[in-house]
A and B are shown apart, each in its own frame.
Chain A
Amino acid sequence: MSKHILIVDDSASIRQMVEVTLKSAKYEVTSAPDGQAALDLCKSKSFDFVITDQNMPRMDGITLIKSLRAMPSYRSTPIIVLTTEAGGAMKAQGQAAGATGWMVKPFDPTKLLQVAAKVLG
């Protein structure tokens, strides 16, 4: 059975590119436009990997990670932050919230597939 990945980004274009990239590697992909929508999905479904943007309306990426880590079923799920913000403070903030890794835009499909393969074993 294929691994189920959740992609969270307010840019439809990025959501599509990530989705296309992951689907080409036969992953099952679900997407959400912000942190709140993602959290709602995670309450009813179980995902093997979460990729999230940082700056989003309603709920940002760091808040989402914190909320997920508070849920027993998402305590060890790999969560990657995909963002244009590459500052060290932000990375530290993310790490503190429980992010597994950090990917900086522009989006690189090859790198994303490498990361996905690594975290999903």
Chain B
Amino acid sequence: MNYREDDTDSEISLKSRHVLVIEDDIGFNQTVCLFLEDLEVNTTGAYTVAEGLEKISNSHFDFILLDGSLPDGRGADFLIGLSKLDLVIPVMMITAEEDQEQMAAYFGMGVDDYLLKPVNFGLIWLKMRRLYRAHIISIRERAKHKKLQELLNEKHLEEGLGRHVYKHLAGEKKELDHIIKSSMQSSGSFNGDFFLSLQGPSGNTFLMLLDATGHGLAAAISVLPQVAIMRAMVEKGFSLPNILFELNKKFNRDMPLDRFVAAVLVEIDHTLGELYVWNGSMPDVLILDNAGKIIRTVCSSHMAIGIMEPEEFNASLETIHLSGGEHLVLHSDGLVEQIGVNKQVFDTERLAQTIERCDEVGSLFDFLLSEFESHRGAVGLGDDVSLCYINLDLLTSHIQNQAQIKCLEPKKQGHIDLTVTINGDLLAKADILELLNSVMNQSQVAVETRQTGFTLFAELVSNALDHGVLGIDSEIKNNHERFIEYLELREQRLQNLSNSDEIKLHFNYNQSKGQIEFEILDSGAGYDPSSINTNDETSLAGRGLALIKQLAHSVECPSPGNKTSIILNEKK
């Protein structure tokens, strides 16, 4: 018989391992050692319990062959001593027949197997190999289990952190829960869909529904930076096209090529009663009337965020005039692609039919969710599923009430007058709008007036800087195809500002009169206001001079057109 090992895995082979043979029959002990040495196994012989324990204390052994009966004790005595050393070494007993009754006890003491004398050497070897292999595999399994536990713990901690960041970014606005309803169901431990509603300094509401490629943590990671950018830019009063450009640019730069985020971004202008929608690769945005009938859909007309290079990105918005009583429904594709108990997908047609079947638009959100759950029954979610519903009338009322509540607060008789001049490089760096917003906050200007003021100042500061100081033709800015050209030109001119480039602001707020006087003067050449097409609804930068005239109590723009003065009255 060929006893040579053919294991390719050297770790489970006994070759070069060290075996301790504890056996008082010198001839047998030596023969076993010779036999094993011939198989390239290192051996050491011991002839008593004491000698065995002494050897095991001083050297490393991988395997022990143990006789049941030794001159100074039994095999059990050795096993007790071994257990005190806290060593995990496979032990095989080679014992006489009379020791068999002891064997059950020996197994309890850590013996792995035994052979009866007289022994067959081939059998010794086969059993040794098998035991050693099982021993190594068990060590590996324990190590793997330990590693797995460590990884699971690590994953648990990471997910905890992820959830914390997620929750923090999502924010919780309980007071709007009955107006802006959202259900986000995750197919994994993390959701790759994300819904966010924010209020800008102008009072406009911003909504964002994202659906990142894939699902789970990888998808969530794609979403988080988008949420942070959106939140920061809305707070600073940036326009939706600007935010979209930034979202796409950052995503394009920072994320791997195969990652992108389908998104719907909505801005609701409560003052003008307008809705601006950008849909990039998401299912249709649904606009319903008060009877719950779908009166308008905004389908995807853009690629998802992160696909297009910044210079190719199109941030043009679809504008919808609201006539009152509208409701908005946003959802991710996970909703309409969900397989149901009938093996069919929920699909857009079923969604439309379900909306039609709902008797009361006020309960539409709950009705849709319950119909969706009945459809899928016990079938697991195939993708992250999100559904958002916004009652636009209620939202506008809420925003306006909020402003009125602030107005009702007892009036104070204060006055603030501020003149600020900014020139040179600081024009590119200073956040003039943030400054004005902060001044209005500090002056306790009523919320609604502050929001209107912010919209007006944003427009005026933007005009003064872009068209006045930087001399950029408004035609470029308002053209969808040239918007990127505008951004580049702006960037380039901002880098070449001199101290003669200047903007001067004068802000005056009189609390008792409830009036803001605002004047802005730029160092530019001026322009003829009558040459501007103020009714261009498709203009990207928005609402321009027409908006200013609509919102302000009075507007003056004397020749040569580099100064604008407005008066804004607080609403009573």
Contacts and interface: CB of A to CB of B under 8 A. Distances in A.
A12 B118 contact: yes
A17 B94 CA distance: 15
Interface stretch (B21-29, B249-257, B467-475): B21-29
A21 B26 contact: no
A100 B118 CA distance: 29
A20 B25 contact: no
11 contacts: A13-B119, A16-B120, A17-B27, A20-B121, A21-B34, A24-B34, A24-B37, A107-B27, A107-B28, A107-B31, A110-B30
Interface residues of A, number: 14
Contacts of B372: none
Nearest to A17: B31
B26 A108 contact: yes
B35 interface: yes
A16 B37 contact: no
Nearest to B38: A24
Contact of B27 (A23, A24, A106): A106
B118 A23 contact: no
B321 interface: no
Nearest to A26: B38
Residue of B27, B118, B120 ringed by the most chain A CB atoms within 10 A: B27
A107 B29 CA distance: 11
A24 B35 contact: yes
Contacts of B38: 20, 23-24
B121 A109 contact: no
Given A106-B25, A106-B26, A16 B121 contact: yes
Given A12-B118, A13-B117, A20 B27 contact: no
A17 B120 CA distance: 9
B34 to A, nearest CB: 4
A13 B35 contact: no
Interface string B29-62: 0110011011000000000000000000000000
Given A24-B35, A24-B37, A17 B28 contact: yes
Interface string A79-121: 0000000000000000000000000001111100000000000
A106 B117 CA distance: 15
A109 to B, nearest CB: 4
Contacts of A109: 27, 30-31, 34
Contacts of A12: 118
Nearest to B25: A106
Nearest to A107: B27
Interface in A43-67: none
A12 B122 CA distance: 13
A21 B120 CA distance: 14
Task: Pick the 9 closest A-B CB pairs, nearest first.
Answer: A13-B118, A107-B27, A24-B34, A24-B38, A109-B30, A20-B35, A17-B31, A109-B31, A106-B27
A109 B35 CA distance: 11
A38 B546 CA distance: 122
A91 B182 CA distance: 105
A108 B35 contact: no
Contact of B34 (A13, A20, A106): A20
Contacts of B31: 17, 20-21, 107, 109
A88 B25 CA distance: 26
Interface string B90-128: 000000000000000000000000000111110000000
A11 B120 CA distance: 12
A7 to B, nearest CB: 13
A11 B117 CA distance: 12
Contacts of B26: 106, 108
A100 to B, nearest CB: 21
Contacts of B121: 16, 20
A119 to B, nearest CB: 19
Given A20-B121, A24-B35, A24-B37, 7 more contacts: A13-B117, A16-B119, A106-B25, A106-B27, A107-B28, A108-B26, A109-B27
